[in-house]
Homo-oligomer: A and B are copies of this chain.
Amino acid sequence: MKRIAFFLVAVASLAGVVASTAGRVDDQAAPIFGVKIPAGYRDWKLISVAHEEGNLNDLRAILGNNIAVKAYREGKLPFPDGTIIARLAWNYVPSDENNKVFGRQQSFIAGSPTNVQFMVKDSKKYAATGGWGFAQFKDGKPDDKADLKTCFPCHEPVKARDFVFTRYAP
A106 and B57 alpha carbons, distance in the complex (Å): 9
B-contacting residues, A85-122, CB 8 Å: 88, 90, 92, 95, 97-98, 100-102, 104-110, 113
A166 and B59 alpha carbons, distance in the complex (Å): 14
| Residue on B nearest A53 in the bound complex, by CB | B106
Contact B20 A101 (CB under 8 A): no
Given A100-B157, A113-B170, A157-B101, A50 and B107 touching (CB < 8 A)?
yes
Q: For A102, what are the chain B residues with a Cβ–Cβ distance below 8 Å?
A: 54
Q: For A21, what are the chain B residues with a Cβ–Cβ distance below 8 Å?
A: 73
| Residue on B nearest A48 in the bound complex, by CB | B110
Proximity string of chain A (38-72) to chain B, C-beta cutoff 8 Å, 1 when within and 0 when not: 00001101101111111010011101000000000
Q: For A74, what are the chain B residues with a Cβ–Cβ distance below 8 Å?
A: 17
One complex includes copies of this chain to the number of 2
A67 to B: closest C-beta gap in Å: 14
A108 and B92 alpha carbons, distance in the complex (Å): 13
Contact A17 B75 (CB under 8 A): yes
A165, CB-defined interface residue at 8 Å: yes
Given A97-B165, A113-B170, A49 and B52 touching (CB < 8 A)?
no
A165 and B102 alpha carbons, distance in the complex (Å): 12
A to B CB contacts below 8 Å, 16 in the list: A17-B75, A20-B73, A20-B170, A24-B170, A48-B109, A48-B110, A49-B109, A51-B108, A53-B106, A54-B104, A61-B169, A88-B169, A97-B158, A97-B165, A101-B154, A110-B169
